[in-house]
Amino acid sequence: MKRTLLLVILIVGFVALSLSTAIYAGDKVSDVIKMENAAYDKHEKSIVEFTHKKHIEDYKIGCGECHHDANGKPLNDLKAGDNVSGCIECHKIASKAPREPKLSEKEQLQYHAEAIHQNCIDCHKKFKKETGNKEVPTSCAKCHIK
């Protein structure tokens, strides 16, 4: 009896563990990633199609601009074929931060959508300012296309 219980606990623990980890295998990376994280019960906004390959090859952005380690240190040496952790691994709350109350920068970053937005939008804004390019998306509807 005790043994069965132990086994059940082990299995439940293992399932919980595999659900809570989002390590993506590097050999299966899609050219365009559908940003539809399963941690969300429901997406409020339309699903963004992120041109991962284009960002790397055409826009010449280094891996470390977007991927970093558990201390937030850029993974500049990442290369094609390496496994990566999903953003949700560390930016764990599957929503946008609530408008009120005002959160600190660190608290904001616990929210998945805030971390993603900061990464994508900050670079786009900078790019827009530096090059005058108006196509690079900085507003909601340009990424969350209806």
Note whether 34 binds ligand HEC by CB under 6 A.
Answer: no
Note whether 14 binds ligand HEC by CB under 6 A.
Answer: no
Note whether 88 binds ligand HEC by CB under 6 A.
Answer: yes
Alpha carbons 35 and 47: distance in angstroms, whole number: 6
CB 91 within 8 A of CB 112: yes
Of residues 20, 21, 30, 76, which one binds ligand HEC by CB under 6 A?
30
Of residues 4, 18, 44, 98, which one binds ligand HEC by CB under 6 A?
44
Least distance to ligand HEC, CB of residue 102, Å: 16
CB 46 within 8 A of CB 145: yes
Tokens 């786009």 belong to residue: 124
Rounded alpha-carbon distances, angstroms, from residue 110 to 59, 84, 100: 28, 19, 15
Q: What does residue 58 show for φ and ψ, rounded to 5 degrees?
A: -85, -45
Closest CB to ligand HEC among residues 3, 73: 73
Question: CA angle, 118 as apex, 113 and 119 as ends, to 5°?
Answer: 100
Least distance to ligand HEC, CB of residue 92, Å: 10
Of residues 53, 56, 93, 103, which one binds ligand HEC by CB under 6 A?
56
CB 76 within 8 A of CB 63: yes
Q: Which residues make up the interface to ligand HEC (CB under 6 A)?
A: 24, 26, 29-30, 33, 35-37, 40, 43-45, 48, 50-52, 54-56, 59, 61, 63, 65-72, 78-80, 82, 84-91, 96, 106, 109, 113, 115-121, 123-124, 127, 133, 135-140, 142-144
